[in-house]
Amino acid sequence: MTLRSIAQELTEPHLKSIGGRIGKVPSLLSELREAVSGSSSGDAGGGASKQRILVNATALDLLNQIEGEIRSAYSDRYGQGAPTLETCIELIGKGEHPADWDAWFTAKFEWCKAQIEAMLRPKKMRRLDNVMCPGCLQSKHGEDRATCLYLDCYEGEHKALKHASEWEVHCVACEASWTREQMSWLLVALSE
């Protein structure tokens, strides 16, 4: 994708394939901002009280990280204070840049897009409960004792099973990952 097209996906409503049909979707930044503000729940009736999640901290952290990095990059490129996040992205996307700046901005925008997509539409992965990670030697981590290992074995919108040679295991505690021949330890762990 070009720098301009990624900038448009980040800042403007755009067309996307949804369930085999093409439809208009909001910009990724507006979806992220909506995720920050949370969602309301309750009955649709007039007298029902609604409870509202005040802030999604994960989404807010991601938005702040993206805003800091993009505004800093804008200031570095143009040597002036950065306007709003959307304005920075639009100006960078429409601007002419030397090849090295263009490649750097394209990589940065692709990273932003990937992070937002991953947060809003997480990939379906299978938990590997009670299997110890060979990297950090834990099966649970954190105060809430969450599962460490996840198996990436699904693909596509319909979550079809990938061929076993394409599976990957990821540890959320130590951030290690394994593929193909590196996963022989998993077969041993699952057989125990």
Token pair for residue 173? 């505690």
DSSP H or E stretch at residue 9: helix 3-11
How far is Cα 155 from Cα 160, in angstroms, rounded to an integer? 5
pLDDT (tens place) for every residue of the chain, 192 residues total = 899 999 999 999 988 776 677 888 899 999 999 999 875 444 444 444 556 557 888 899 999 999 999 999 999 999 999 899 999 999 999 999 999 999 999 999 999 999 998 888 877 788 888 888 888 998 898 888 888 888 888 877 667 888 888 888 989 888 888 888 788 887 777 777
Task: Please say whether the beta carbons of 39 and 21 come within 8 A.
Answer: no
Which candidate, 83, 16, 14, 63, places its Cα nearest to that of 4? Answer: 14
Task: Give me the residues paired with residue 15 across strands.
Answer: 24
pTM score, whole prediction? 0.64
